Amino acid sequence: MMKEFHCGSLVPGCEWHTRHEEEAEVMRRAVEHMREVHGETIIRESMIEAIRSRIVQQQDAA
Ligand SMILES: [Zn+2]
């Protein structure tokens, strides 16, 4: 089961998304993206929660 995060669900208009088996890795990449692309130099707990709540399980669409 893959976990997926679409930045556009948090930052309207952003096309970036990431996908990984591990939620922790999705979080890590998302935080890195926030920092590098959206200039969020300070990642607050509320941001972490916002990202986590938007991570979706991706069903295998075979
Ligand atoms: Zn983004």
Q: What is the pLDDT of residues 5-50, one digit of tens each?
A: 999 999 999 999 999 999 999 999 999 999 999 999 999 999 999 9
What local confidence, expressed as pLDDT, does residue 16 receive? 98
- Output the CA 55–ligand 1 centroid distance in Å: 14
Ligand 1 centroid to 62 CA: how many Å? 28
- For the entire predicted model, the pTM comes to 0.89
Residue 5 to residue 12: CA distance in whole angstroms:
13
pLDDT at position 61 is 61
Q: pLDDT confidence of 62, banded at 50, 70, 90?
A: low
Residue 30's Cβ-count burial label (10 Å; 0-12, 13-18, 19+) is buried
CA of 61 to the centre of ligand 1 (A): 25
**59 C-alpha to ligand 1 centroid (Å):** 23
Sign of the dihedral defined by the CA atoms of residues 20, 37, 34, 11, in that order:
negative
